Amino acid sequence: MIIEGKTGSWEIVVGLEVHAQVVSQSKLFSGASATYGGEPNAQVSLVDAAFPGMLPVINGYVVEQAIKTGLGIEATVNEVSVFDRKNYFYADLPQGYQISQYTRPIVSGGRLVIDLPGDTTKTIGVTRLHLEQDAGKSMHDQSPTKSYIDLNRSGVALMEIVSEPDIRSPEEAGAYLKKLRAILRYLGTCDGNMEEGSMRCDANVSVRKVGATEFGTRNEIKNVNSIRHVMQAIEYEANRQVEALEAGETIRQETRLWDVARGVTRSMRSKEHAHDYRYFPDPDLLPLILDPEAIARIKTSMPELPDAKKARFVDAYKLSPYDAGVLVAEQEQADFFETVAKGRKDPKLAANWVIVELFGALNKKGVDVTNSPVSAKNLAGLLDLIENETISGRIAKDVFQFMVETGKDAASIVAEKGLVQVTDTGAIDAAIAKVMAENAAKVDEYRAGKTTLFGWFVGQVMKGTGGKANPAKVNEILKAKLSG
Ligand code: ADP
Ligand code: MG
């Protein structure tokens, strides 16, 4: 995106840091439960509360999850990585430091292909992925005189995934987050739930004159909790920086907050410098050394990821890239579609029904595909009835509505409501004869050359048969009869 300013055109430069909570029963260095929403301080081990003498023990499953994620973003998994202490004082950080990875992360040098309008893509570099602990939560709004601390989150495993400053617009940032979330969810390494905070995003934003080779000074907008808000915050912040620079101000590097209510970013603090954290290798933890064979084993067990699945859908089912992209956004949607489409003559019909009718109905009901009242098997059954001409596409829509309401299968509904398509030519002949007899003047007009009336005749015959006549047969017979 280009911002047209008073002094010229400006380019937006964005790099995103995503904190993704690792799907794991227990925390990064303790056995306490990592599940969301527990009673405050019910999921805290002595390690998480930093009792003296307690030692961290690395959670092997979390390490596997990080490896999987690294492979999912086509990155290098480093056989040696190191845990460092990032020192700062805050009440919800009982250790007085966060265990993180600084100079030697577990994963480096990945990439993510994002989908942009017009079926175009762009590759965004991923600088690194490292493991670190989450902090606890301070609550300042529970009492007028006290602050409360909930340590349930203290020590929960996070993957910090840092992008290169390759992103050039709010839309690209949104596409990056969507793709990253999809990959994490496919892999089962993070549930991607931004409202519950299991995926949080900091957006680094700067602007520069179009054509400039150096980056401008960036600001970091912290912890924005939805993709839409990240996009809005970037747009606001970039415009604010352009206005400031054009007014002759300089941008100071600082940390800012997105104020949802006012739709603005606000300064929180000037940027701490890395050396203030006094990073040093955690003496309680040995370097993390990975077995290359274990990495290779994980590599062979990787699921098909969204980009590969999309390409396969386009190829195998002849879908448009757009439709394929919609279907693969969630693994459960893609699986649903494949169950409906497998072995079908017309898989595009299946795609249309899933995307338009099914997703429309689910949207209205506010449920996702895993709770669909119409099962994939039942939707396949409905499409079978269309393909073997038991019902018309028109009637199928009514049948589908009944399926949504009752959860019954298509064949039962068709039988119950007597909706079987009329292909019996005798019945169609009779309906046509009736329409022609009642509209003799129109028949004359048609025969005199006003052939545009044909559609009207079709409509009348369909109406006369309660929409149940086979449209192809109606067309064929009507054409013959009208031409005399
Ligand atoms: P820090 O540890 O201070 O947050 P990093 O070097 O880890 O700094 O960078 C954080 C993020 O900032 C990365 O996503 C990177 O791509 C992005 N970034 C770096 N320079 C710029 C810039 N000039 N404009 C926008 N984003 C930037
Ligand atoms: Mg940062």
In 260-415, DSSP assigns E strands to 264-270, 280-281, 288-289
Over residues 238-287, the pLDDT tens digits come to 999 999 999 999 999 999 999 999 999 999 877 656 568 999 999 999 99
**CA 432 to ligand 1 center in whole angstroms:** 72
Parts of the chain with a pLDDT under 70: 271-275
User: CA–CA separation, 178 vs 326, rounded Å?
Assistant: 12
Structure tokens at 124: 């965004």
DSSP 145-164: S--EEE-TTTT-EEEEEEE-
User: CA–CA separation, 198 vs 218, rounded Å?
Assistant: 25
DSSP 216-284: ---EEEEEE-SHHHHHHHHHHHHHHHHHHHHTT--PPPEEEEEETTTTEEEEEEEPPPGGGG--EE-TT
Ligand 1 in reach of 435 Cβ (< 6 A) = no
Q: Of 212, 251, 240, 233, nearest to 11 (Cα)?
A: 212
**CA 215 to ligand 1 center in whole angstroms:** 10
pLDDT attached to residue 464? 87
Q: Is the pTM of this model over 0.85?
A: yes
Long-range pairs for 176-180 at CB < 8 Å and ≥24 separation? 176/16, 176/112, 176/114, 176/124, 177/16, 177/18, 177/201, 177/227, 177/230, 178/114, 178/115, 178/227, 178/329, 179/112, 179/113, 179/114, 179/115, 179/306, 180/18, 180/73, 180/112
pLDDT attached to residue 354? 97
Ligand 1 in reach of 74 Cβ (< 6 A) = no
Ligand 1 in reach of 162 Cβ (< 6 A) = yes
Ligand 1 in reach of 179 Cβ (< 6 A) = no
Best mutation site among 10, 100, 126, 162 for ligand 1 pocket (most ligand atoms within 8 Å of CB): 162
Structure tokens at 339: 């169950």
Helix 376-387 with 393-406: angle, nearest 10 deg: 160
Longest CA pairwise span in the chain (Å): 100
Question: Residue 164: nearest ligand to its CA?
Answer: 1
Type of residue numbered 310: K
CATH 1.10.10.410 correct for 425-483: yes
pLDDT attached to residue 193? 94
User: Which atom of ligand 1 is least distant from the CA of 163?
Assistant: 14
pLDDT attached to residue 388? 87
Ligand 1 in reach of 14 Cβ (< 6 A) = yes
**CA 40 to ligand 2 center in whole angstroms:** 28
Domain boundaries, the chain: 2-298, 304-417, 425-483
Q: Which helix (H) or strand (E) holds 425?
A: helix 425-438
DSSP 3-state of 397:
helix
Structure tokens at 239: 């415009």
- CA distance between the termini of the chain: 63
Ligand 1 in reach of 105 Cβ (< 6 A) = no
Question: Residue 127: nearest ligand to its CA?
Answer: 1
pLDDT attached to residue 274? 56
pLDDT attached to residue 273? 61
**CA 277 to ligand 1 center in whole angstroms:** 17
User: CA–CA separation, 453 vs 30, rounded Å?
Assistant: 77
Question: Residue 163: nearest ligand to its CA?
Answer: 1
DSSP 3-state of 122:
strand
Type of residue numbered 443: V
Burial 405-439 (b: 16+ CB within 10 A, else e): eeeebbbebbeeeebebbeeeeebeebbeebbeeb
Best mutation site among 218, 234, 276 for ligand 1 pocket (most ligand atoms within 8 Å of CB): 218
Ligand 1 in reach of 124 Cβ (< 6 A) = no
Question: Residue 162: nearest ligand to its CA?
Answer: 1
User: CA–CA separation, 364 vs 207, rounded Å?
Assistant: 41
Mode of pairing for the β-strands spanning 254-259 and 219-224: parallel
**CA 253 to ligand 2 center in whole angstroms:** 12
